[in-house]
Amino acid sequence: TADLWVPASKVGVPNGLFKGNGHIAPRANLTWRPWGNHDFVIRGGFGVYYNTFEGNRAASSIVGPPYWDAEAQSFVTASQQRWETAWPVDPQSFVQPSISEAPIPNIQPTQTREFNFTVQTALPFQSALTLSYVGTRVHNQVNLFSHNLAPPGIYASQAAKLAATPYAAFGDVTLLENIGKGWYDGLQAKLERRFARGFSFTGSYSFSKAIAQNAQSDDTSSLPVYHPENYFRGRSSDDRTHIFFINAVWD
């Protein structure tokens, strides 16, 4: 594999294989009691949060790029490849090395922007009603993307299909990249009574929609290639339109 690798400096990548980056995560909130009314409160808030991808993919020298390599052979019935001859006799003439789940050098942590607008009023029987609009915007979500697949079509042989890949000397090349986005918007209502005279309760309801684009439920699955830009955009796997919750304590 001597001809398959180049020094990091030759392609403009730092020696540590990652480009350093800094991020600001501000928080801001506002609380207002209009008209001097102590029973009615308006609140608003905004915050920026970051998270990285799962596991040791960037923290461990064992699995960090370019050391997390996998030499694997896969074939299906349609290839008519007998398993007895699928593997080379000489171990040194193994199949193409693969790059699996390696972060790109300039990968960014996923950024989540959260905001809300809330009104709250006191009610009789020591209870309160809270109505909120809650929103979330996710940017730079990390997901896997395959870079070494042959274009769709019928090929005369496995060798012909391999020759049609962008990097024929390699097997699979799946990289962690900032390709996902997410949106959440919800209307939330909560009716609660703090514990008094041996009784308390909380009832809440949310009506919401969560949308994801180029994002899986986790970052261990690779997105299919050769599709329109917004093809993988729709309701998120954790979207729940209606959520109702209630509890009570009676002493």
102 C-beta neighbours (distance < 10 Å), count: 22
Tokens 């009570």 belong to 248
On whether the CB atoms of residues 126 and 196 are closer than 8 A, the answer is: yes
At residue 97's C-alpha, the angle toward residues 96 and 98, to 5°, is 115
Q: Tens of pLDDT along 45-60? A: 999 998 866 655 555 5
> Taking the CA atoms of the chain, what radius of gyration do you get in angstroms?
26
> What does the pLDDT read at residue 119?
97
Q: Tens of pLDDT along 87-140? A: 667 766 656 677 777 778 888 888 999 999 999 999 988 899 999 999 999 988
Q: Tens of pLDDT along 152-177? A: 888 887 778 888 888 888 878 888 88
How much is the mean pLDDT over the chain? 82
For residue 244, what pLDDT band results from cuts at 50, 70 and 90? Answer: very high
Q: CA–CA separation, 229 vs 208, rounded Å?
A: 25
Alpha helix locations (H) across 129-207? 158-163
For residue 230, what pLDDT band results from cuts at 50, 70 and 90? Answer: confident
CA–centroid distance for 126 within its chain: 42
Q: Tens of pLDDT along 24-36? A: 999 999 999 998 8
